[in-house]
């Protein structure tokens, strides 16, 4: 079917409206000139109000549009969009209220049934649907639930049920996320991190015990327990520890102490390393692999040595902490280990090093010998796989950031926030990201089975996906109209044909993004040009800095795009300036869409355009990933990935310095704040994503050929007309208002001619 469009239905009105203007006499032109001026002035006020970030003022301006003075066709289009948004907003508010009441009702049922886990899940859902996250925590039933969870967590920890402790802490932490109760958030965040690390230890050194915990957890939830443990799934300890020595560790710590962006020296890393060893020694379930940990006397003696080192460390000045002091500390630990629990020395070094890195940031890590090959493959660009970006969530589950469009995972139906619970039937509990990459990637043409746990689904969903070469097509349009002979997509770029408002979505920033965006813009110009542009950066995790700078430059004739600074706040490299010769889109009215999934390169583009007033930013605050990692070779078979620089955005008018993009611990300011904040409910996101994903798939016809007119494809305009995407609705209204002023001026010029 052809793409149905409510906006296109007004094309006939446009043709009718143009006739009297083109036939206007000089006298009639004089009579309408003043009316046209009012529309132009109003359109400019709308734009400037949005640029200032005045949401209330914007709503007022949109509500007093002098549309009776505007060309009829444009006025009708604007009125239709405004009325549709009000209908959608009212419907969304009603649906949100109903969903919240359902969540609260389910929470009370779970409370009565004494099912803490399900009650907490419902509480999180109800809070998410509330207008005030803080006030929701004061509701009696939610407050009672929180108190119950607080009492239960110590008992669960004492019993060693780390998976249940992980779940409860994660839910509690989520309840305090984005509230004003920062202390409570930090408390649960710290506890959750400790539990996550214990679960990771079980995955590495006690896989049988972790299997038992998982099976018991499933049984508690009323699900089928796991099959018997398969010893063949355990990590090979020799492979994990082979080649690790103390020089590798001290070399990494020395480099980090000298060059890490925060510049706090040796102390935090040494404390982190000692506390990590204490966690290992006190996780008695590891006796599965290390029987000596089952001897309380031996464990107490080693813990006593760790505690002594921590006390001694507190009394040593920073200037006396260096590589020599660290080597002596490690020697004492190795000696104590030999006298007590007799763990492999390489294990002491590795766990100490990993603990030390946790005190720096989430992106710094030692690349140990068993991981170095995979790390090099990833950085050199091995693009055979299924096409997903992954991360750890707070429970150390493997979570999909987003499937890359046009890849096997995307077409299979994998979604952002999906939890990869299984790979080829094996649980991913406790896996590192490297473990997941190793198992999911593989030879081209060979299938891999992913077991997906998805919010709202009771059972694990199974997807069999055939691995393929991943083509990084990062520039998308509004509606896919077909495919070239080479299989590349062809796009209709117009969100609103009559007003010539274009839509471009960037899913990442790779080496082809800049040239592909220029190609898209050439196609738009060849089709009649654009009076406005929506640049959609939602769920764009970033990519190459050079690509983000080039794309920013397309909109900027001059000024700084982004800066980099080191731990001393000194520029790490020259400011990246805009060059006028590259500013092909400068002056094009542009609205940029962002959300919590917009990171790194997305934040650079949105932040640069915002600082220079080159675009209006709509949506939600971005993720806050504004750090640069450099790789240091610390041994022939090991490396250190270390955060050494931060990105800083250009200063906006009235600012002495631009903000840091990166979200630092305890920070209140990070990323890019939208000029006009517009949120989406979980239900809206789910509907939007499903339609967007299915609309981008062109099914085959009976003969196996792509059929763009297939009735199986949804109408992409449903995302607007059915209220699935309020962020895009807002962007469209702003650009339509701008186009009203432009259309008024253009028609006056036509009349003069």
- Assign residue 321 a region: left if phi > 0, alpha if psi is -120 to 50, beta otherwise? beta
Selection from 9, 3, 22 nearest residue 73 by Cα: 9
**Under CATH, to which class is 384-469 assigned?**
mainly beta
Q: At what angle do helices 246-259 and 267-281 cross, to 10 degrees?
A: 140
CB of 487 closer than 8 Å to CB of 517: no
Q: Which stretch of DSSP H or E encloses residue 574?
A: strand 571-577
CATH number 3.90.226.10 is the correct assignment for the domain at 475-677: yes
3-class secondary structure, 170: helix
Q: Mean pLDDT of residues grouped by 10 in the chain (753 residues)? A: 36 28 32 64 94 94 77 77 90 91 96 94 93 94 96 94 94 92 92 93 91 86 77 73 94 96 93 97 94 96 97 95 96 97 97 96 92 69 77 81 78 88 89 82 91 89 92 88 79 92 94 94 95 96 92 96 88 89 96 95 97 97 91 94 93 85 84 95 87 84 80 91 94 93 57 41
Residue 276 is predicted with a pLDDT of: 97
Question: Which pairing describes strands 461-466 and 447-453: parallel, antiparallel, or unpaired?
Answer: antiparallel
For tokens 């214990």, the residue is 198
Whole-angstrom distance, CA of residue 545 vs CA of residue 509: 8
Q: Give the count of beta carbons closer than 10 Å to the beta carbon of residue 730.
A: 25
Q: Give the count of beta carbons closer than 10 Å to the beta carbon of residue 394.
A: 18
Residue 564 is predicted with a pLDDT of: 92
How many CA atoms within 13 Å lie on the side-chain side of 693?
A: 19
Q: Which residue ranges make up each domain of the chain?
A: 114-222, 244-364, 384-469, 475-677
Q: What is the dihedral of CA 649, 650, 652, 658, to 10 degrees?
A: 50
Q: Give the count of beta carbons closer than 10 Å to the beta carbon of residue 731.
A: 30
Residue 232 is predicted with a pLDDT of: 60
Average pLDDT, the chain: 87
Residue 531 is predicted with a pLDDT of: 93
DSSP annotation of 508 reads -
3-class secondary structure, 445: coil
Whole-angstrom distance, CA of residue 400 vs CA of residue 526: 37
CB of 355 closer than 8 Å to CB of 272: yes
CB of 426 closer than 8 Å to CB of 439: yes
Please report the sign of the dihedral spanned by the C-alpha atoms of residue 283, residue 301, residue 328, residue 261: positive
Residue 529 is predicted with a pLDDT of: 93
Residue 417 is predicted with a pLDDT of: 86
Question: Which pairing describes strands 419-423 and 447-453: parallel, antiparallel, or unpaired?
Answer: antiparallel
Whole-angstrom distance, CA of residue 747 vs CA of residue 199: 68
Backbone angles phi, psi at 665, to 5 degrees: -55, 130
Residue 744 is predicted with a pLDDT of: 52
Helices (H), 177-206: 182-205
Whole-angstrom distance, CA of residue 130 vs CA of residue 136: 7
The strand pairing partners of 619, in sequence order, are 594, 677
Residue 614 is predicted with a pLDDT of: 97
Q: Which pair of tokens denotes residue 591? A: 């609205």
């Amino acid at each position: 079917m052809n793409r149905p469009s409510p906006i296109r239905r007004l094309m006939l009105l446009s043709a009718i409206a143009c006739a009297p203007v083109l036939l206007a006499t000089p006298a009639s032109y004089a009579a309408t000139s003043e009316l046209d001026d009012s529309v132009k002035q109003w359109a400019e006020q709308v734009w400037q109000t949005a640029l200032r970030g005045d949401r209330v003022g914007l709503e007022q301006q949109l509500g007093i549009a002098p549309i009776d003075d505007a060309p009829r066709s444009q006025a009708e289009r604007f009125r239709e969009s405004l009325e549709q948004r009000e209908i959608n907003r009212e419907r969304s508010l009603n649906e949100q209220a109903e969903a919240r009441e359902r969540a609260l009702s389910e929470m009370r049922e779970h409370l009565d049934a004494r099912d803490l886990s399900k009650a907490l899940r419902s509480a999180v859902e109800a809070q998410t649907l509330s207008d005030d996250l803080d006030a929701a925590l004061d509701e009696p039933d939610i407050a009672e639930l929180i108190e119950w969870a607080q009492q239960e967590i110590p008992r669960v920890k004492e019993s060693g049920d780390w998976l249940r402790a992980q779940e409860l802490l994660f839910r509690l932490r989520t309840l305090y996320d984005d509230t004003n109760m920062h202390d409570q958030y930090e408390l649960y965040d710290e506890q959750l991190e400790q539990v996550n690390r214990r679960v990771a230890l079980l995955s590495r050194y006690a896989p049988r015990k972790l299997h038992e915990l998982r099976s018991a957890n499933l049984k508690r939830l009323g699900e089928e327990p796991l099959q018997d443990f398969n010893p063949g799934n355990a990590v090979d300890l020799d492979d994990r520890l082979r080649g690790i020595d103390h020089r590798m560790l001290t070399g990494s710590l020395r480099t980090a102490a000298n060059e890490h962006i925060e510049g706090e020296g040796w102390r935090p890393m040494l404390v982190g390393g000692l506390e990590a060893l204490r966690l290992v020694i006190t996780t008695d379930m590891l006796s599965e692999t290390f029987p000596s940990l089952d001897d309380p006397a031996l464990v107490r003696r080693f813990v006593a040595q760790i505690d002594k080192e921590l006390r001694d460390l507190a009394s040593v000045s920073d200037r006396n902490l260096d590589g020599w002091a660290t080597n002596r500390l490690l020697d004492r630990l190795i000696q104590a280990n030999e006298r007590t629990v007799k763990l492999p020395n390489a294990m002491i070094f590795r766990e100490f090093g990993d603990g030390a890195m946790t005190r720096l940031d989430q992106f710094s890590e030692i690349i140990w010998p068993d991981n170095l090959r995979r790390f090099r493959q990833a950085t050199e660009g091995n693009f055979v796989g299924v096409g997903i970006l992954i991360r750890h969530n707070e429970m150390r589950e493997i979570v999909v950031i987003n499937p890359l469009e046009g890849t096997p995972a995307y077409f299979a139906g994998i979604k952002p926030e999906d939890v990869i619970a299984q790979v080829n039937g094996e649980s991913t509990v406790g896996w590192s990201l490297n473990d997941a990459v190793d198992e999911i990637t593989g030879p081209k043409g060979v299938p891999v089975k992913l077991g997906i746990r998805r919010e709202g689904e009771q059972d694990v969903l199974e997807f069999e996906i055939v691995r393929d070469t991943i083509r990084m097509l990062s520039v998308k349009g509004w509606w896919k109209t077909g495919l070239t002979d080479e299989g590349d997509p062809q796009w209709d770029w117009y969100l609103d044909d009559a007003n010539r408002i274009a839509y471009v979505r960037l899913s990442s920033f790779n080496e082809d993004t800049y040239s592909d965006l220029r190609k898209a813009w050439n196609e738009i110009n060849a089709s009649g040009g654009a009076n406005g542009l929506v640049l959609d950066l939602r769920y764009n995790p970033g990519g190459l800095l050079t690509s983000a700078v080039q794309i920013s430059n397309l909109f900027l004739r001059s000024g700084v795009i982004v800066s980099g600074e080191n731990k001393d706040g000194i520029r790490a490299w020259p400011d990246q300036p805009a060059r006028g010769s590259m500013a092909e889109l400068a002056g094009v009215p542009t609205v940029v869409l962002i959300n919590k999934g917009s990171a790194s390169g997305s934040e650079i583009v949105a932040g640069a355009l915002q600082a220079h007033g080159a675009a209006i930013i709509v949506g939600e605050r971005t993720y806050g990933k504004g750090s640069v990692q450099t790789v240091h070779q610390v041994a022939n078979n090991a490396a250190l990935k270390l955060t050494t620089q931060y990105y800083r955005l250009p200063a906006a008018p009235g600012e002495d310095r631009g903000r840091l993009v990166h979200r630092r611990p305890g920070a209140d300011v990070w990323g890019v704040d939208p000029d006009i904040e517009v949120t989406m409910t979980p239900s809206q996101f789910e509907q939007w994503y499903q339609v967007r994903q299915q609309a981008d798939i062109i099914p085959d016809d009976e003969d196996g050929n792509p059929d763009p007119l297939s009735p199986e494809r949804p109408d992409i305009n449903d995302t607007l007309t059915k209220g699935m995407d309020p962020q895009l609705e807002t962007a469209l209204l702003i650009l339509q208002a701008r186009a009203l002023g432009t259309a008024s001026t253009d028609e006056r010029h036509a009349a003069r001619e």
